[in-house]
């Protein structure tokens, strides 16, 4: 299964040349998105402020069904409305792979990122290992990985700007 970027604002989840779902950002500058899957229907994903953590609500028909949060280390955690929890674990440096693990640390999904130099975005290869709601969880993972990359780029820019300001102050 792959999650392929169709534009800067949308991804399609494709398996056997069949679209299983879509992830569509409402704007390139906002963290809100809509997830549509054949099996699980339509979900809305919204960011809200959390102290030292990024928090997201995933709703279906205006009812919160899933919570997603990123701690200050950049680790993501998913909590379903029935209390089942999952976490994202990244491994590797040059060939970065991300795993969705259940509470017993069993790997349910493996996601490999592939950078598309022509379009300046990522495509994702997703390998299923017995995950329930695979389509929905895969698109949430794509959203989380995109957010994590933006977060890391923001931190790098902040560090560069801080170093630049310090150098300018020293040179006064």
Question: Which pLDDT tens digits describe the chain residue by residue (172 residues)?
Answer: 989 988 888 999 999 999 999 999 987 767 789 999 998 899 999 988 766 678 899 999 989 999 999 887 778 999 998 899 999 888 777 667 889 888 898 888 899 888 878 877 888 899 887 777 889 989 999 998 888 776 666 667 778 888 888 888 887 6
Check: CB of residue 28 under 8 Å from CB of residue 9: yes
The model's pTM: 0.81
Rounded distance between C-alpha atoms, residue 23 and residue 76, angstroms: 18
Count of domains observed in the chain: 1
Please report, for residues 23, 88, 95, 99, the alpha-carbon distance to residue 39 in angstroms, rounded to integers and kept in the order given. Answer: 14, 22, 31, 22
Q: Which two tokens stand for residue 2?
A: 């792959």
Smallest CA-to-CA distance from 46 within 65, 72, 20, 71 is with 65
Rounded distance between C-alpha atoms, residue 1 and residue 133, angstroms: 14
Range of the domain at 8: 2-170
């Amino acid at each position: 299964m792959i999650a392929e970027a169709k534009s800067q604002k949308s991804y399609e989840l494709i398996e056997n040349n069949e679209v299983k779902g879509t992830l569509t950002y409402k704007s390139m500058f906002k963290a809100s998105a809509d997830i549509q899957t054949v099996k699980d229907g339509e979900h809305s994903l919204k960011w809200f402020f959390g102290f030292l953590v990024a928090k997201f609500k995933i709703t279906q028909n205006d009812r919160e069904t899933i919570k997603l949060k990123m701690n200050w280390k950049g680790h993501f955690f998913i909590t379903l409305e029935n209390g089942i929890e999952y976490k994202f674990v990244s491994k590797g440096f040059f060939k970065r792979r991300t795993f969705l693990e259940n509470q017993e640390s069993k790997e349910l999904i493996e996601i490999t990122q592939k950078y598309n130099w022509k379009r300046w975005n990522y495509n994702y290869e997703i390998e299923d290992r017995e995950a329930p709601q695979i389509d929905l969880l895969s698109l949430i993972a794509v959203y989380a990985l995109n957010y994590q990359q933006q977060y890391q780029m923001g931190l790098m820019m902040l560090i560069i700007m801080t170093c630049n300001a310090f150098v300018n102050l020293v040179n006064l």
